[in-house]
Structure formats: structure tokens, C-alpha cells
Structure 1
Amino acid sequence: MAEAIELKVWSRARTGKGGAREIRREGRVPGIIYGGKEEPQNVALEVKELSKQIQTGHFQSTIFMLDMDGTKIRVIPRGLQLDPIRDFPIHVDFMRLAKDATVTVDVPVHFRNEAASPGLKRGGVLNIVRHDIPVRCPADAIPDFFEIDLTGLEIGDSIHISAVALPENVIPTITDRDFTVATIVGRAAEEEAPTEADEDAEAEEGAEAEGAEGEAEDKDKDEK
């Protein structure tokens, strides 16, 4: 579960592009803290410390305690901008968290026991449809990751969200279907394996088809 990690921040007076450039020349990253009943607060962070947290792979689902001149502010990242060429952070947004806050986050998926999957042992490929699962949960109970056991899975088998063990009070944000997390496919079918975008598009088409069917039925009733 998530634990608050402390980060040192400094208040910054200058805003705009000029102020941001000045902050970056000092080896810091401009940011903003918003939310709650307080006004947005412009801050700056050490680029090295921020980069270290980003490299964990779960930066945007981690609770931080920002220390600004001794004042502690409990937050969660809500936006991160990276330099498109050099890939280092150039701006970060934090949202204040009230006590007992509930948040929406993407939690990464980890797979285990690949060697115990007959399908993978016979040359199949693990096709990961969703590397992260979007969930809503208490801010103090964000899972570090979801673990999926591949034991016994054959080529053609699929893993749906209903098969993933979710902690109490952790609820997927996608509730209209039992969406696919991963599949075991043969190498010949690897290029045609479904992706997250494919699944979402299929769900949207299904919803549109249901809507069109309902409109047609209503029209038939009116004509009769």
C-alpha cells in the first residue's frame, strides 16, 4: 500500500515562461499545488529528487508529503510534463489530499509464474492488453501493483478483470464490462492480438450498436 514519501519544495514568486526558465537554470523543476479550499501554490523541486521518484514507475500513483519551509502538504501527482527531446521533467502538478480522500489512479499489473503456463512453455506469447488498471480507492490504500498468476494458462486463454484479486474498497473505473487484462496467444497470432485501444473501441461500437437498436425499436413502435 502507498506510503507518503517526503519531498522538499520551495515557494516561487515568479510565474510564466520567464519564471519557469529561471527555476530550471537553478536545477529545479517548476510545479503547482492545487485543490482543496486553498489557492493554488507555485513551487519548485530539485530535479534530481523528482527524477528519482519518476523512475520508480509509479510516480503518479504515489502519495507525497511536500515540505515547504516546515509546512507539510499531503498531495498526489496529477500532471507531469517531460522535455520531448531530452525526456527530463519540466513541470509537475500536485493535488492536495484531504483526510480520507478517495482518488482515481492507474495501478500497474505484474505477472508471475510464466514458467508454469503450458501455453507459454509451448511457444505462446503473453499479450498484455492493459499494463495498468484504472481504479478508484482511498488515497491511503493505493495498491503498489496487481499480481496475476499465469499458472496453468494455455494458448487462447484470456485474463479478465474479474479474475484479478482486488483489495477491499479498490474498484475499477471501467464498470460496463469484464475487460481483458492479458491473453496467451500463439506466435502466428501475435500481430493480431487485441490491445487496450482495440478493446475500448469495440466496447464503444457495442454501446453505439445498442443505442441504434433501441432507436430502431422505438421507431417501429411509433409506426405501429
Structure 2
Amino acid sequence: MRAPSSALLKIDVPLMFIGDDASPGLRKGAYFNTIKRTVKYLCPADIVPPYIEVDLSELDVGQKLLMRDLKVHPVLKLLQSPEQPICSIIGSRAPEQKKSK
């Protein structure tokens, strides 16, 4: 008989964004742009994370985090492109200026 193996599950793991109070970009008045709220992984049933922390404390204006930047358990296998963005810090829009004739 074979030893029972842990079942693999395809799951959408929610993202929890932290460190927004320390982000240099957000402190400058830029905006936080959420692109993804969950990420799809293949993982063993006994190692299902309740969420993944996404640290924003190092992000400045114009920077973004990609799927490959996530810190997860090594047995989790990403089922999406590692190049997909998760979030970004975007600058504030400049007020529209009146055109002079």
C-alpha cells in the first residue's frame, strides 16, 4: 500500500497589505493602486496560508510589486504569471491648468 500523500489544492490566497504608514511614496501624497486582491497557488492541503502579507513600506512613487515579489512558503506553486503586478504607488494628478491665449 502507498502512504497517503497530502492532497494538492488550487486556492486563491487573499493578500493583506501592510506598511502603508511607512511607504515613502504614500507619505509624499501618492496613491495606492490595488491591482490584485488574491493570488492563485497550488499548495498541499496542510499548508494553506490564511493570507499573504504584502509589505508596502519600501515602495516609492512609480514603483510596483509583482507576483514574484511575494514571500511565501517554498512548497506553494504560483499558478499565475510571476510578472503580473499586484499593486503600485502612483503619483497624484496635477491640477489642470488653464490654457492662456
The verdict on a shared fold, with TM-score over 0.5 as the criterion, is yes
**Over the residues paired in the alignment, what is the CA RMSD in angstroms?**
1.8
SS of alignment partner, residue 115 of structure 1: coil
Point out where structure 2 has 5 or more consecutive residues left out of the alignment.
95-101
Find the aligned partners of 2:44 and 2:93 in 1 and give their Cα distance.
Answer: 43
- Which residue of 34, 40, 57 maps to 1:151? 57
Find the aligned partners of 2:53 and 2:77 in 1 and give their Cα distance.
Answer: 16
Relative to the length of structure 2, the TM-score reads 0.82
- Max Rg structure: 1
Find the aligned partners of 2:78 and 2:72 in 1 and give their Cα distance.
Answer: 9
- Which residue of 25, 39, 58 maps to 1:119? 25
Runs of 4 or more above 6 Å deviation: none
Amino acid at match of 1:181: I
Point out where structure 1 has 5 or more consecutive residues left out of the alignment.
1-97, 190-224
1:173 CA drift (Å): 0.4
* 2:92 is the alignment partner of 1:187: yes
Structure number having the greater helix percentage: 1
Q: Which residue does the alignment assign to 1:178?
A: 83
Relative to the length of structure 1, the TM-score reads 0.38
Find the aligned partners of 1:105 and 1:187 in 2 and give their Cα distance.
Answer: 35
Find the aligned partners of 1:143 and 1:165 in 2 and give their Cα distance.
Answer: 12
1:131 CA drift (Å): 0.2
Q: Which residue does the alignment assign to 1:77?
A: none
1:187 CA drift (Å): 2.9
SS of alignment partner, residue 187 of structure 1: coil
Find the aligned partners of 2:20 and 2:65 in 1 and give their Cα distance.
Answer: 14
Indicate the structure whose relative CO is greater, using CA pairs within 8 Å and at least 6 residues apart: 2
Per-residue deviation, residues 195-215 of structure 1 (Å, max 9, x unmatched): xxxxxxxxxxxxxxxxxxxxx
